[in-house]
Chains A and B, each alone.
Chain A
Amino acid sequence: VDFTPDFHCPCASIRNREGQISIVKIDVDEGVFGIRNTFGEGRFSILQQPQIILLKEGTDTSQGKPQLVSNINACMAVADVVRTTLGPRGMDKLIHDDKGNTTISNDGATIMKLLDIVHPASKILVDIAKSQDSEVGDGTTTVVLLAGEFLREAKPFVDDGVHPQNLIRSYRAASYLAIEKIKELAVSIEGKSLEEKKSLLANCAATTLSSKLIGGEKEFFATMVVDAVLAIESDDRLNMIGIKKVPGGTMRDSFLVNGVAFKKTFSYAGFEQQPKKFLNPKILLLNIELELKSEKENAEIRLSDPLQYQSIVDAEWNIIYDKLDKCVKSGAKIVLSRLAIGDLATQYFADCDIFCAGRVAEDDLHRVAAATGGTVQTSVNNVIDEVLGSCEVFEEKQVGNERFNIFNGCPSGQTATIVLRGGADQFIEEAERSLHDAIMIVRRAMKNSTVVAGGGAIDMEISRYLRQHARTIAGKSQLFINSFAKALEVIPRQLCDNAGFDATDVLNKLRQKHALADGEGALYGVDINTGGIADSFANFVWEPAVVKINAINAATEAACLILSVDETVKNPKSESAQGEAAAGMGRGRGGGRGRGMRRR
């Protein structure tokens, strides 16, 4: 091969073994030195040996240890993004996309989703954040941070030539031990009276909310969330808690409706003549159109006698009047329909002192049905009393700039609606996300009924326990478990960093407390108000145990998954296939357990 680069003119001619000459362009760009063939077919090689082309042209493969290290680096870079959002002094991120949508959020999962990560290895972190979100609802920042930290700790070992599988095994063992320890340390809130339970749950919700934008009013919202969750009891359907957003007003103007509330729907003339308040009304729920319209879309009527004309017109009117009459006869005072209620029907109902609303959103209608004990009807024939719902008070009320239909005091009590108020759209959006987290936490805590001390206390305790345990192990594993333990300390450290405290100092104090022989310091965590340490449990900084268990589990799995990848094959063709290929391969190598991650 004849290779004569000329740096003044960034081209060179290359003759390959068959004697063909190609002109290649040389890119000299900030240390990146590449050769690109200017003619289509790139069948030449600067290496002496013939290269076996196995994969499609342009496929980028990286492999071996450097690949592993680079994956770790990428994950750490991602973890760094969400790092500062942890804890009550955590900051928010403002992200706006190409379309100009702006999101201000503190929620790990939301941020990860919006970052639009394309790096195949880092995508795993997005997945675990999402899975934590859907599984537990809170702790999404924690899980990403932990995974990043596990990898950071693993990196020097990989550099030193430890086989990744060794690391993986030890990490798995450590996570198993950690989870067992959490279960042991968790305090059950089972068997307490309702009042007691309420305040316990409120504490859990308050801990979650303290890191959010609405942290200033956390007690206010925590009670609201607990009331809402208790209202739907053990019902699994989360959509029974509705969150309605109304811009304007302050957070304190938010309120909880023990029932359903939705915005006034589009109304026709005559609506204002209907009564707007009822006590113990019967509610008829429909899924039909109450409008003057042709009964069949493609039917056609042929008249030969013009005198019959009126009878057709009358027939149509009779159909609709018949329907309306049946609604009125049913005794219902409120008629809701998912489809339109036309002006004719509106006026007819107004004459009969009945309130009606058409085009009610489907989930609102279902929630009304669940709350009032009614059933949605698809016909007005044979409406019996059993299908009618009821509630204590119905009222149309002004909330901010909107009018709201509020059904309060519903008998079956399976729904609750939180009407959120706030100064700006983004503010309410973020408040909604925060409340969602809190609701999930309270539900989780109700189901599992065990809580652990927050504020980094549990993390420090597990860390101490693992360190202690590591000393009993002979062999390499000792080092790895130790580093796992060290990685767990990232939570209290980050809490301090975000609050602007001296992390080393606080951490040392915590280590000392937790090392006390009789275990009396096991509940100590970072005191975010003074910059010292305090008994988190006594200060009601609680999290459900399941949040921590799930976080450690998911983070360990993700770390193991990334450690087990030693080759990435990038297919140049389709952008979207890229991530899948690498992730798919990674999973294959990680074995069956890796795949099980999401399910847990």
Chain B
Amino acid sequence: MALAFDEYGRPFIILREQESKSRLRGLDAQKANISAGVAVARILRTSLGPKGMDKMLQSPDGDITITNDGATILEQMDVDNQIGKLMVELSRSQDYEIGDGTTGVVVMAGALLEQAERLLERGIHPIRVAEGYEIASKIAVDHLQQISHKFEFSATHIEPLVKTCMTTLSSKIVNRCKRTLAEIAVKAVMAVADLERKDVNLDLIKVEGKVGGKLEDTELIYGILVDKDMSHPQMPKQIEDAKIAILTCPFEPPKPKTKHKVDIDTVEKFQTLRQQEQKYFDDMVQQCKDVGATLVICQWGFDDEANHLLMHRNLPAVRWVGGVELELIAIATGGRIVPRFQELTPEKLGKAGLVREKAFGTTKDRMLYIEHCANSRAVTVFIRGGNKMMIEETKRSIHDALCVARNLIRNNSIVYGGGAAEISCSIAVEAAADKYPGVEQYAVRAFADALDSVPMALAENSGLQPIETLSAVKSQQIKDNNPCCGIDCNDAGTNDMREQNVFETLIGKQQQLLLATQVVKMILKIDDVISPTEY
């Protein structure tokens, strides 16, 4: 803080605790901010692409996460620096909106910042740089629209969707069975999608994981999987054509919510009370039986007495099922949630073709499968894997793939991956740069250079010569006028991404560019950082 002195030569205290606050201003502030942003981006750079590496992160309580999902890495890194936090949020918002490309967006922002620093050193006003970037990002986004392809798909023809999902999954640890997983993801999304409204409610897809088995055992269940078992070990393990009563009331005598007291002063009264209680249990089970339920799913627990009675009356039951699962079961089976026994009617029962309890390996863990439901609008992806970390990472990968499939249903345009789209944009932006009079021209050109850094990182991570590869691909794109040439990460022998079937969604790519530009502009606009010193 600039100090002012009064007539006695004492400094003014203008701000509270002025001495303990540090302040950076002008170019210093910009440079410090840029280097913080670039540092974050550098961490993620090696995770990009199919040959990208994973990061191992240990949380304060010792939990270990291994991932190469950008958003997750940044989330777990617990970045303290303010500008670093902006980058974290950048990747998070890409995650929220698109669900995929969280690494790419940060790498892009980092590259833009790196280029900006060079321009600042030449004395270009930061806002002019930001404005130039904005112009360039518009050009790039429009160009993406031009080179994008639309493809048709329908409920039966899902091949294109699967291929796009495979591109997403190929950069993950699970890429060895990307085909299976991609199919699972697409089928799951198609099952819950509302193709007319182009809306997909991902809440209807449940992703469940269990340690054990192998990744190939991962399956899609048209129905619900509940991590619960039958309340009594002797109940049947398999029920066909189940009629399910979905209850939110416990198998207990009902209690009024108002405070109450029952005065018992004679033995007779006690007897009556006892009988009444028993009658309640009896009635409850009877009511379930009467409407024809062959399975009871209950949100709460039940008394041992009720359990025994249920067993006795041959009515299988599941207890302590969570609210969300209960809702999903209701949706899937077309049943209604029933709040008390008096209201049970045959119409309110859910129907499922098969309910079975399945035990895994040698462990005693059991899970309940509810399959062949009346209405299959709720599905479950059940992941198996060697260890917990693997399952967690698979869950994240599946989530990415689900998001990609969802985005494609919303907007079925795709661009080519493997850096092809970036290179093509870079060429377009570079060409457009010369049209701008004034300082912006340099910033636009810098944007084009920054676009190159994504394919460059891809090549680097794949063990190729980055500059050589990039320039070869670039010249090929210009020569053949073919925006599908990208980096051949998998050494497939061709760099035509159409042949390699490497697709990315158009909206995902556009979002990346726009978000990265937005955040970079924000960082460049800051010329004054006031903070308490301990930070």
Chain A residues with a Cβ under 8 A of chain B: 31-32, 62, 66-67, 69-70, 73-74, 76-78, 80-81, 84, 88-98, 100, 102, 104, 106, 115-119, 122, 213, 216, 247-253, 268-273, 292-296, 298-307, 309-310, 312-313, 315-317, 343-344, 347-348, 350-351, 397-398, 400-401, 422-427, 430, 499-500, 529-530
Contact = CB atoms under 8 A, between A and B. Distances in A.
Contact of A303 (B16, B94, B127, B260): B260
Contacts of A348: 339
Contacts of B126: 91
Taking chain A's interface residues, is the majority helix, strand, or loop, or is none over half, making it mixed?
Answer: mixed
B534 to A, nearest CB: 8
26 contacts: A78-B14, A80-B2, A89-B125, A89-B128, A93-B526, A93-B528, A100-B535, A119-B15, A213-B522, A251-B518, A269-B324, A272-B203, A273-B337, A292-B257, A294-B259, A301-B258, A304-B269, A306-B264, A310-B254, A313-B255, A347-B248, A347-B336, A400-B97, A423-B93, A425-B89, A430-B522
B127 A316 contact: no
B514 interface: yes
A248 B97 contact: yes
Contacts of B535: 96, 100
B327 A104 contact: no
Contacts of A94: 29, 33, 82, 526, 528-531
A294 B260 CA distance: 10
Interface stretch (B3-11, B233-241, B393-401, B484-492): B3-11
B272 A307 contact: yes
Of residues B5, B15, B330, B532, which shows the largest number of chain A Cβ atoms within 10 Å of its Cβ?
B15
B179 interface: no
A250 B511 contact: yes
Taking chain B's interface residues, is the majority helix, strand, or loop, or is none over half, making it mixed?
Answer: mixed
Nearest to A348: B339
Q: What 4 A-B pairs have minimum CB-CB distances, sorted nearest first?
A: A66-B7, A248-B96, A91-B527, A70-B6
Given A213-B522, A424-B90, A91 B530 contact: no
A273 B7 contact: no
Contacts of B94: 248
Nearest to A70: B6
Contacts of A251: 514, 518
Given A89-B125, A116-B16, A269-B326, A350 B93 contact: no
B93 to A, nearest CB: 4
Nearest to A351: B336
B356 interface: no
A317 B6 CA distance: 76
Contact of A119 (B12, B273, B521): B12
B276 to A, nearest CB: 5
Nearest to A72: B4
B130 to A, nearest CB: 8
Given A91-B527, A96-B82, A424-B89, A271 B327 contact: yes
B119 to A, nearest CB: 13
Contacts of A350: 336-337
A252 B514 CA distance: 9
B7 A270 contact: no
Contact of A316 (B258, B438, B514): B258
B528 A84 contact: yes
Contacts of B532: 96-98
A115 B326 CA distance: 51
A118 B93 contact: no
A102 B85 contact: yes
Contacts of A106: 525
A295 B260 CA distance: 13
A118 B336 contact: no
Contacts of A73: 4-6, 12
A272 B528 CA distance: 48
A122 B16 CA distance: 12
Contact of A118 (B10, B13, B521, B526): B13
Given A73-B4, A294-B258, A422-B518, A117 B15 contact: yes
A269 B248 contact: yes
Given A270-B327, A270-B330, A292-B257, A92 B527 contact: yes
Of residues A292, A306, A426, which shows the largest number of chain B Cβ atoms within 10 Å of its Cβ?
A306
Nearest to A246: B96
A558 B330 CA distance: 67
A317 B300 CA distance: 19
B313 interface: no
Of residues A106, A249, A304, A425, which shows the largest number of chain B Cβ atoms within 10 Å of its Cβ?
A249
A310 B525 CA distance: 70
Contacts of B328: 272
Contact of A269 (B15, B276, B337): B337
A84 B90 CA distance: 26
A95 B260 contact: no
B531 A305 contact: no
A246 to B, nearest CB: 8
Given A115-B530, A247-B93, A303 B258 contact: no
Contacts of B256: 294, 301, 312-313, 315-316
Contacts of B514: 250-252
A471 B48 CA distance: 71
A272 B331 contact: yes
A571 B128 CA distance: 49
Contacts of A344: 248, 339
Contacts of A90: 127
Contacts of B389: none
B16 A118 contact: yes
Contact of B263 (A74, A273, A303, A422): A303
Interface string B97-140: 10000000000000000000000000001111001001000000
A78 B299 CA distance: 62
A250 B525 contact: no
A102 B82 contact: yes
Contacts of A316: 256-258
Nearest to B127: A89
A216 B248 contact: no
Contacts of B12: 70, 73-74, 77, 119
A216 B131 contact: yes
A376 to B, nearest CB: 25
Contacts of A216: 131, 134, 521
Contacts of B1: 77
A347 B339 contact: yes
A526 to B, nearest CB: 14
A587 to B, nearest CB: 20
A309 B14 CA distance: 72
Nearest to B330: A273
Contacts of A77: 1-4, 12, 14
Contacts of B264: 306
B340 interface: yes
B310 to A, nearest CB: 22
B259 A300 contact: yes
Contact of B96 (A84, A117, A401): A401
Given A249-B97, A273-B331, A424-B86, A302 B261 contact: yes
Contacts of B210: none
B366 to A, nearest CB: 23
Contacts of A295: 258
Nearest to A84: B527
Given A94-B526, A427-B522, A300 B258 contact: yes
B531 A96 contact: yes
Nearest to B525: A92
Contacts of A88: 127
Contact of A306 (B134, B255, B272): B272
B213 interface: no
A31 B9 CA distance: 8
A55 to B, nearest CB: 18
Contacts of B254: 310, 313
B262 interface: yes
Of residues A32, A213, A248, A351, which shows the largest number of chain B Cβ atoms within 10 Å of its Cβ?
A248
B515 interface: yes
